[in-house]
Amino acid sequence: MPDRPALLFAANWKMHLGPGETREFAGKFRAEYAPAADRETWFFPPAVSLEAATAAFAGLPRTRIGAQDVHWEPKGAFTGATSVFLARAAGASATLIGHSERRHVFGETDEETGRKLRAALAGGLQPLLCVGETLEERERDSTAAVVNRQLNAGVRELDSAELDRVVIAYEPVWAIGTGRNATPADAAAVHAGIRRALMGLGASASRILYGGSVNATNVAALVAEPEIDGVLVGGASLDPEGWAGICSVKRER
């Protein structure tokens, strides 16, 4: 069996942790976490904390700081939005694209998600594209159809090299912040379908994360699945010591 890619632990802080709190978090996290060659840590702080996170995590091996969202236009009259250029200027090297809250709270469309992803690639940010179904869609047995629609809207115009730069996060909406999560086997089955779809489009080295009520209790079982290359975590990533423990979990080979 070929070596699996490095595990990726991505922290989405959502609307939490200002600059001062970010610096405090980083100090506590760095005191507890020992970087290793078989794992990466990515942090997605609020826009106001991008510069603080970039400075606070500077020098930590295999670590990226990312924006939680970007606009597809390089500049203009878009109050409240952040361009790829501005995110990079603040220290970001990655960005979330199409998080479920952007889709379901802010009404972001599949078309807009695709435009954001292409702008991120063009501007030098590593995109992490989020896909996933609602509870109603899951109960209608529409998981595969919904995930494939969202995936295709994001990556259909990309060539093979660009496809390999995109990280995917499968985050079932019904499991985010609810305490419910897909079983490792269920998540792995969806991941396998995503991987087949990406390979059909020309990808060769896709990384696919799971997100949805991930915590210290279930993370080891999730990353033990061969199809799961890491996790995208919200609430459990806000505690620095707890997050350091999650990021240090070992997986079976």
Q: Which of 71, 99, 133, 227 is catalytic?
A: 99
71: annotated active-site residue: no
171: annotated active-site residue: yes
> What distance in Å separates the CA atoms of residue 208 and residue 123, rounded to the nearest whole number?
22
Alpha helices (H) in 17-131, listed in sequence order: 19-32, 50-56, 84-89, 100-104, 110-123
Q: Which of 171, 191, 225, 227 is catalytic?
A: 171
Asked whether the beta carbons of 190 and 210 are under 8 A apart, the reply is no
Contacts 24+ apart (CB under 8 A), 215-224: 215/246, 216/242, 216/245, 216/246, 218/181, 218/184, 219/246, 219/249, 220/249, 220/250, 220/251, 221/184, 222/184, 222/187, 223/7, 223/249, 223/251, 224/184, 224/251, 224/252
**Burial degree of 98 (CB within 10 A; 0-12, 13-18, 19+):** buried
Would you name the residues annotated as active-site residues? 99, 171
